[in-house]
Structure 1
Amino acid sequence: MDTLAIVFVGNSTVLSSRLETPFSLPLVGLRLTIDCWTNDYSQSPLEVHNKTFQDVLNQLESYSGYIDFPEVFNSNLPSTLKQLELKIHCTDDEGDNSPSRILAPFIRLSNDYPHLESLSLHFELEAESIGDYYEDKDTLYLAALNYPSHPYSIICRSLLNSTLTSLRSLTLADSVPGQLTFTTHMYRAPRLLFDSILHFAPSLQRLSLRMCNDASDFGEHILFYTELKHYLERTTTLKCLVLPAVLATSMAGEPQELVKYLVQDASIEIEGEILMEYMAPITRPLLSLSIRFEDSVDPVDDILEIYESLNMVKHLQVTPSRSDLDFIPHIGSETTLTLTTVVHCDRLCQLLAENHRITTLYINPRAEGKGDKNNKEKFQAIIDVHPSIKNKDSVFVDNVWPTLF
């Protein structure tokens, strides 16, 4: 057994036989979900079976669970832990859910787990803003520093006060949408976060920002994009950036300078989707790139130059719009093209038939409206006689990267 998942859904009596069953050790990972306490609410199920469970904990290389579960996180996880995934829920309230109590173990991360290689933080914050929205970056930075009890400030300060030289992968994610999320605070005071990450993880190779889209309703994002670009310019070890999903929406503010840097000057790979509205001509080789077209956005000024530069991408995934399929003639033999949906079938068939350079093509056969089967048959007829497409028998796939991962 490599990974053990324990889900508590009843009282400790019901759980007895489960925890006393011998485990096949060593275990690599543990995923723990706690849904209840004992009948008298005085102790948790793990306290009843402490020795059995401690034997499990001592073997772990990875752990996933809530940061405020003291029987596990506060003292019992081994210092040799390499992968840690934490769910962080706290509010402005005092007591059990106060930030100072919930985040206390977080402050000790580098001391308690010096060998961490992967850290994933899933935030469920319900805290008031660290300050009103200002245009002045320095004002925002100082505002965050001046709220020492705010969860966002505690987290950033904790990163600034510790260093994990072994950390290679860091994920920041919002678990719930809303106005008072980690995302909204990050957009309001981004420099504090990126300064903290730079200090906390000097050897970081992968940064994943899985933030809530709806934070785009709460202020301009230019501060965030500016500070993220500044961080990328300063880091010397980062190899991959997982983009926030907001870059695939038309409410993303002004990320053009960030996108231009990513596709022209940076030396890192990109994961995540970018709206064509924000694209810039690509001037460096990219392993992968995902682009979304939308009918509602204004035409891009240098669109032809962008189309011609798509050959710099080895694995290109495109979600096309109804009106713009003109990138198809520019796809060359070195680019694997994945179309995530089928729109305007006849037009797309014509463009593919005329492109005699494309060699590898994947299509999600779903179509908008009726006629899915007919659309697939039309495509297959073109592909069967196509002079350059090599994967004729494996063109139709689900909406995934078929060859990259």
Structure 2
Amino acid sequence: MTSVRVGVFGLLGSGNLGNDGSLQAVLGYLRAEHPEAVVDALCGGPEVVSARYGIPATRLHWYRGEYRTASRAGTIAAKGLGKLVDAVRTAAWVRRHDVVIVPGMGVLEATLPLRPWGFPYSLFLLCATGRLFGTRVALVGVGAAAIGNRPTRALVRWSARLATYRSYRDTQSREAMRAMGVDTTRDEVYPDLAFALPTPRASTPTEHVLSPPGPVCVGVMAFHGGDDDRARAEEIHRRYLDGTTRFVRALVKDGRPVRLLTGDACDAPVVAAILDAVDSPLVTAAEAASLADLMKETAAADTVVATRYHNLVCALKAGTPTLALSYAAKSDALMDRMGLGAYCHPAREVDADRLLEQFRALEQRSAELRRTLTERNLAAARRLEDQFTALTAALFPGTDHAQTHAHARQEAP
């Protein structure tokens, strides 16, 4: 078979478990449906990606201090030079490929602090050079949101326009891109790519009835608000941490074991602050290195309360009743899609007493919600099969993979 040169692109291998989970899902698709493809990556953490996924990887940025604040003239000059070098490096990398996939991630949003000359600039370089050299660039199952900063919004809008293929992980993302002037007529919405990953066995309702109340997973985040909240970032973080700590302390008072989860390396100080403030043997921290690890943790819990988007995805996919500390519309949309839209609490205004009320109401409906999640997860898996079939048709024309995959699904028992 003719080898197809496929690149994967993004902040992969940089410590964010959700980003890496999206990469894992796309690599699983490529290995199952396009085993002839020769795959490599242009990413944030090439050493991690190569070691973990067995593909060659190149560093996304020439300047290694790209995401550190530059205050001296020398570092500012190095960053500026890096932008010029990255334009050449990205063009050369794109030109070597037939297809480039951006797997999931919130690449078209600014719900967390973001500078236009950071990742938005890198994404624009990718999509522009893809159009220049005839390389098909696909934004697959990505997140998008309204962006206030004009330079960032312009880069994101042009990146989306120049891409060959776009799909989104929720309807709000597609509507946000339409509002920014992108023609989304042919763009589809599918569940997050992480729903394509293997699912660990969840505890059954019977086990919960026969046992005393079990552990609660609390997923925390180094949350400082969004891109438009820089002036009050510390106030937002302090309020979030205080409310979350009070909630954990209330769970401990009720005798509940609490397992603290993270989703990014930058969340570790939040875990340390809660452990120090609560100081109880009932509170422990998980050391998850992947979404699979997170799913195992959430599958073993009675209930999950989480902030990071992919902490929520893991808990919902594991079939565990979940309450979202929601910091963006994407979290609300995910919870609504999975039948738990009533169980969202604002991360910017964590009220420990109100959160505890919602938590207890959630647990009272545990058995019912587990059945709902089973049904919604089956529907998500079917939709992601459609996503991958559509991706094959768009990126690998002239192959019979799409038809073969469809026939296999029809004939499967």
Asked whether the two chains share a fold, i.e. TM above 0.5, the reply is: no
Q: What TM-score, normalized to structure 2? A: 0.30
Q: What TM-score, normalized to structure 1? A: 0.30
Rg (Cα) greater in structure: 1
More strand per residue: 1
Indicate the structure whose relative CO is greater, using CA pairs within 8 Å and at least 6 residues apart.
2
More helix per residue: 2
